[in-house]
Amino acid sequence: MSSCFVFLTHRLDQFERPAVHEYFDDLMFSVEPVFGRLGAFSGFRRFLKCRRICYDSGGFKFLIKGVLDVDPREVALYYKALGFNDCDFLIQLDLPPSYYMSKSERLRLIEKSAAYYHVMADVLKSSNLLGVVHGWTEDELLYSLSLLEDPGVVAAGSFVSPPVYAHDYIQKSRIALGSYIAKSVLKEKIKSVPRRAVFERLVVAMNLLRDREVFMLGGSNANTLHIMFLLGARYSDGAAWRLATKLYCIMIPELGRFSIGVKAISKRLNDQALKTLKEYHSESPFSFLSFNDFIVQLRNDFITRALWNAWVLKVEEQIANEYACDPDRYYEYLRERWANNSYWRTILNFVWKRMKHPYIQPKLDIFLKTHLKVKKSAEKA
């Protein structure tokens, strides 16, 4: 397998707070916050010295809120105005179908999303644009992939028809895939998706896309990143550094997130965490500070905390690259890493079993009605 890369997710309208672009390569910026006020950001790319960036269009907002009032041509024009080079990635404006939608509703969004991709390809005339594969079953995923790769099929549909000559710019070796991890943990007013359904779909999708370079969207924290890379993704975004910073938390390589503020959002630093933090501090960009001063700055200085958390995600990227070429060894590492974490150990074993012995479940309701089948079997017995 080729090297793995974590794109540090940031807001375009806040790219100077903190200036992660001065310290790290591979950044991802959401352009959605600057829709309607492009003037201040025209030519944005020329201000960045980092090796590679990715522009995201706002599909995540649609996934969470079900609202997206942006035209794909408009997004493409934003990408052109912001600027990009041959190394950059541009994520299409996509419409992720919800797990709870009917089959016809999901297919309608898959078709419309593919049409958006070809419209943007025609405007941009660049192979930098990545289409996003969607679907919750094998047949939906294959259908989505076929629409992205064949504009003639898209144009023959009953939805918005893109120009058929956009095929000159279609990127077939690289593809993007939404992880839907966020939907498996949502609470309150939004229905969460069964965790098993999310990871079952993820394995099916990665098996189908095995011969492509996959940019996994929605990786976020270090643990999900490792699951993505174990499954074969080459690129993933990581927003955990920003969220942790805002919540007065720090990330520690291989251990997770810890609270250092007045309120304990996560677990507090323990002896093992302090020991590991000290070890990594000595080889970090903050090693010029004494360890005690470093702890004080983490607690009191937003910039220090943010840059540290961003650096930790890049450390996790290095760890992934130590194992990515050997999945069996990668699995053994993760199994040891999560030996005392039942949540992630369960997920690891779930996806690993299906990687080794793929089983494709074509019906979504299997995850919702398992208990009914068990009950019927018990009654027959």
Is residue 276 pLDDT above 50, yes or no? yes
Provide the 3-class DSSP secondary structure of residue 212: coil
Phi and psi angles of residue 85, each rounded to the nearest 5 degrees, phi first: -115, -175
Crossing angle, helix 72-82 and helix 103-124, to 10 degrees? 40
Q: What sign does the CA torsion over 374, 378, 379, 381 have?
A: positive
Q: Buried (b) or exposed (e) across 140-161, using 16+ Cβ within 10 A?
A: bbebbbebbbbbeebbeeebee
Structure tokens at 257: 């997130």
pLDDT digits (tens, 9 = 90+) for 38-82: 777 888 998 888 889 999 986 656 555 555 667 899 899 999 999
Asked if residue 368 has pLDDT above 90, the reply is no
Strand partners, 175: 214
Whether the pLDDT of residue 374 is over 50: the answer is no
Asked if residue 237 lies in contact with residue 306, where contact means CB atoms within 8 angstroms, the answer is no
Q: What is the pLDDT of residues 184-202, one digit of tens each?
A: 654 444 567 888 999 999 9
Instruction: Domains for the chain: give ranges and CATH numbers.
Output: 5-238 (3.20.20.105), 245-322 (no CATH)
For the stretch 199-236, pLDDT in tens is 999 999 999 999 999 999 987 789 999 999 999 999 99
- Cross-strand pairs, 57: none
Least confident of 41-45, 258-262, 315-319, 372-376: 372-376
Q: Which residues pair with 90 in a beta bridge?
A: 55, 129
